[in-house]
Amino acid sequence: MKKSLVLSLVIVLVLSCNSEKRTENFPKEEIVITSIPQKKDISVYIMAGQSNMAGRGLVAPKDTIPHERLFTTNAEEQLILAKEPLHWYEPPRTGLDCGLSFGRSLLDGNPNEYILILPTAIGGSSIQQWINDLEHHDVPLLSNFKNKIRFGKKYGTIKGIIWHQGESDTGNDEDLEKYPERLSVLFSKFRTIIGNDSLPIVLGELGSFNKHNKKWQQINKAVHDYTKTDPFSAYINTQDLQHKGDSIHFDANGQREMGKRFAQKIMELQQ
């Protein structure tokens, strides 16, 4: 009985320490944009998918240093300077995503451009939930996406989507089999909502570190095959990136590197 009680207390303490470490570098304030640039100067990008796009990495102080030309939005739909973490939908799970790295990489060498990054990724969401606009973690996925598009168009021009998702679709053979078709259906919906049939979309591979790696690589094959049929799409390689210790989520360095790779592919598609 005593041994069980001690073990329970140790688990609670470990979880508490991990939770504090996870949030210890989160920004303490938001900087609302009061002097908004002209609409023609703001390029808008959407982050969509599930947890590896929503971000589960450890936020470091350097991830919370804002760039004066890099914006995002908060839950109150205010335009704010971007600081990690950008996704706020899942407070107990929130961590570093690739958004800030992505935005900074796009701004390099573009002194007259402003970037607005809009987060819509929800951990654990399947592609069919996105297609059917189902709620996941209390968020109606496609409706939330539409709302962010409306917000983005108010301030600038939608220039692209970065997408990372698929882990939730490895649970059964039917979802794996239908994943290629569902990618096409969802991305067609995205482009129709935005009103741009040639909108660049960059997909991220699932990592190589999961114990069910064979199924994850089936998702990656679907990703690769999709980009062969869609000239306005591309994918980033992630096979060399590491997980955070859970064999599911990219670590902080992986997220920062993914942001750079997403930016490079977006810029290539825009040439």
- Whether the pLDDT of residue 253 is over 60: the answer is yes
- In degrees, to the nearest 5, what angle opens at C-alpha 155 toward C-alphas 145 and 101? 70
Task: Kindly report the CATH number that applies to the domain delimited by 43-270.
Answer: 3.40.50.1110
Tokens 């991220």 sit on residue: 204
Angle in degrees, 0-180, between the axes of helices 141-155 and 173-194, rounded to the nearest 10: 30
- Domain assignments of the chain as residue spans, ordered by start: 43-270
Checking DSSP bridges between strand 42-49 and strand 114-119, what pairing results, if any?
Answer: parallel
Report the candidate in 244, 247, 205, 243 with the shortest Cα–Cα distance to residue 227.
205
What ranges in 28-161 are assigned the alpha helix state H? 51-54, 99-107, 127-131, 141-155
Sign of CA dihedral 140, 48, 223, 44: positive
Buried b / exposed e over 162-185, threshold 16 CB at 10 Å, is bbbbbbbbbeeeebbeebbebbee
Report the candidate in 135, 219, 123 with the shortest Cα–Cα distance to residue 171.
219
CA 89 from centroid of its chain's CA atoms: 12
Q: 20 falls in which pLDDT band (50, 70, 90)?
A: low
Distance CA 126, CA 129 (A): 5
Q: Report the run of H or E that residue 204 belongs to, with start and end.
A: strand 201-204
Average pLDDT of the chain, as a whole number: 92
Q: What is the pLDDT of residues 168-185, one digit of tens each?
A: 999 999 999 999 999 999
Report the candidate in 232, 152, 147 with the shortest Cα–Cα distance to residue 196.
232
Q: What is the pTM of this model?
A: 0.92
Q: What is the pLDDT of residues 228-239, one digit of tens each?
A: 999 999 999 999
